A and B are shown apart, each in its own frame.
Chain A
Amino acid sequence: MDLLIFQVPILMVQASLDGILLGILFALIAYGMALQWGVMNIINIAQGDLVILGGYITYFMYLSGIHPALGVIVAPAIMYFVGVGLYKLVINKVVDRDLFISILATFGISILFMQLMNFAFGADVVLANSEFGTTMLFDNSVTLPNSKIFSAIISIIFAIGLVVYMKKSKLGRAIRATAQNARAAKILGVDTEKVYAATFGINAALCGVAGSLVAITFTIHPYMGLPYTIRSFMIVIIAGLGNLPGVAVSGMGLGMFEEFADYILGTEFRIGSVFLLLVLILVYRRFKLSKKREYLK
Chain B
Amino acid sequence: MKLNKIILSFISAFVLLLSTSVTSFAKVVGDKIILGSAISLTGKYSSNGVHTQNGYNMAVDRINSMGGVKVGGKTYKFEIIYYDDESNPKRAAQLAERLISQDGVEFMLGPYSSGLTKAIAPVTEKYGVPMVEANGASRSLFTKGYKYLFAVLAPANLYLDVAIDLAVEKNGGKPVTVAMAFEQDAFSQDVRLGVLEAIDRTGSKKVIDDKLPKELNDMAATLAKVKAVKPDVLVVSGHTKGALTAIRQIAEMKVDVPMLAMTHCDAAKLSKQHGKNSQYALCASQWHKTLTYKDDFFKDGMTYDADFKKLFDYAPPYQAAESSAALLVFKDAFERADSFDKVKVRDALAATNMQTFYGNIKFAEGGQNVDKPMVLFQVMCDGDNCENKVVAPTKWASAELIHPIPSWSKR
Contacts and interface: CB of A to CB of B under 8 A. Distances in A.
A239 B47 CA distance: 40
23 contacts: A4-B228, A8-B228, A14-B224, A115-B42, A122-B46, A122-B47, A123-B47, A124-B47, A125-B239, A125-B244, A127-B248, A127-B273, A143-B227, A218-B218, A219-B241, A219-B245, A219-B248, A221-B44, A263-B225, A267-B210, A267-B216, A270-B221, A271-B216
B202 interface: no
A18 B254 contact: no
Interface residues of B, number: 40
Interface string B258-298: 00000000001100011100000000000000000000000
Contacts, number: 105
A271 B48 CA distance: 28
A11 B240 contact: no
Pick the most buried of B44, B218, B239: most chain A CB atoms within 10 A of its CB.
Answer: B218
A218 B211 contact: no
B15 interface: no
A224 B273 CA distance: 19
Interface in B382-403: none
B45 interface: yes
Nearest to A18: B220
B240 A124 contact: yes
B252 A268 contact: no
B129 interface: no
Given A18-B224, A124-B240, A271-B215, 14 more contacts: A4-B228, A15-B221, A18-B221, A122-B46, A127-B248, A129-B274, A140-B254, A263-B221, A266-B211, A267-B181, A267-B210, A267-B221, A268-B184, A270-B213
B253 A270 contact: no
A134 B254 contact: yes
A145 B241 contact: no
Contacts of A140: 254
Contacts of A219: 217, 241, 244-245, 248
A11 B269 contact: no
B212 interface: yes
A119 interface: yes
A118 B40 CA distance: 12
